[in-house]
């Protein structure tokens, strides 16, 4: 998948006070019909539609087939990995300093401009990778470093996989980004035993990669529980309920920001 394909199409319109627009991708416009300011018909070109987007208009759509132009006072967030709308072109007004050329993490991205989605970040020079940025959870934006939503992705993996990260940023994945956050414990995988249990490997017993001590209260990279399976190997978060010991979780995600 190609991430960060920014279709930037700036329109500088002579005579208009330096309004510029960029074409953006978004999955759907269905929830926006009530936000239409004005609808124009028989507009022959999207540049002419842009000329209609003045004062309180911040976005417009143009449909070449029907020659229909619609203006909006509502902001649309952009999602660069979304499917392009089949026929409708969507443009938003660009304000100065709005687009981070090269964000170092999700927190640098304006949640009013960008939707939740996969973005390429550059945490340090020469190190870039794709992450899922969560723009909707409170106090965000958050960089999602782990997401479990079903059993499709194997999490019982060797050291190198956890080091690199694995999975699909839109589905189940692990992003190895916080090795030293977990109270001084080192990260262990079945092929690298860094736990403090001398007689066994916690990662092997509990079937995940984690900052095991001897062994865990949480095992978020353990196996998805299915009826009858061994709970100790499961995706577990103890103390989640006051009265249930070692409850298994069906979905988890880990969010970080600095």
Helix then strand count (H, E) for the chain reads: 3, 11
103 vs 209, which CB is nearer to Ca ion? 209
Q: Which is nearer to Ca ion, 88 or 205 (CB)?
A: 205
Q: Which is nearer to Ca ion, 53 or 215 (CB)?
A: 215
Shortest reach from residue 158's CB to Ca ion, in Å: 16
Pairing of strands 89-93, 142-148: unpaired
CA 29 to chain centre: 20
Q: Which of 199, 196, 224, 222 is nearest to 210 (CA)?
A: 222
Interface residues toward Ca ion, by CB under 5 A: 193, 195, 197, 201
Our CB check for Ca ion shows the closer of 105 and 195 to be: 195
For residue 245, the minimal CB distance to Ca ion (Å) is 23
As measured in angstroms, the least distance from the Cβ of 204 to Ca ion is 9
- Identity of the residue, 147 or 189, whose beta carbon is nearer to Ca ion in the bound complex: 189
Instruction: List the structure tokens of 161.
Output: 């996989």
Cα distance between residue 100 and residue 142, in whole Å? 16
Output b/e per residue, 142-178; b: 16+ Cβ within 10 A.
Answer: bbbbbbbeeeebebbbebebbeebbbebeebbbbbbe
Retrieve residue 16's tokens: 């208009």
CB 189 to Ca ion: min, Å: 12
Min dist CB 199 to Ca ion, Å, is: 7
């Amino acid at each position: 998948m190609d991430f960060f394909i920014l279709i930037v199409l700036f329109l500088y319109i002579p005579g208009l006070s330096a309004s510029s627009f960029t074409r953006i991708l978004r999955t759907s416009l269905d929830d926006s019909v009530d936000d239409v300011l004005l609808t124009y018909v028989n507009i022959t070109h999207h540049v002419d539609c842009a000329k209609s987007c003045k004062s309180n208009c911040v976005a417009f759509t143009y449909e070449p087939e029907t020659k229909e132009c619609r203006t909006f006072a509502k902001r649309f967030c952009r999602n660069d990995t979304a499917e392009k709308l089949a026929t409708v072109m969507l443009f938003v007004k660009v304000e100065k300093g709005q687009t981070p050329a090269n964000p170092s993490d999700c927190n640098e991205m304006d949640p009013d401009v960008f939707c939740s989605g996969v973005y390429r970040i550059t945490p340090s020079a020469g190190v870039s990778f794709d992450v899922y940025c969560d723009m909707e959870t409170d106090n965000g934006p958050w960089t999602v470093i782990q997401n479990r939503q079903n059993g499709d992705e194997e999490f019982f993996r060797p050291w190198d996989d956890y080091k690199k990260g694995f999975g699909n940023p839109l589905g189940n994945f692990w992003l190895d980004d916080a090795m030293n956050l977990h109270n001084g414990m080192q990260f262990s995988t079945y092929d690298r035993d860094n736990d403090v249990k001398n007689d066994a490997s916690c990662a092997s017993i509990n079937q995940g990669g984690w900052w095991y001590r001897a062994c865990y209260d949480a095992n978020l990279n353990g196996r998805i529980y299915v009826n009858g399976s061994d709970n100790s190997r499961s995706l577990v978060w103890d103390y989640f309920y006051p009265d249930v010991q070692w409850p298994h979780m069906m979905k988890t995600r880990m969010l970080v920001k600095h």
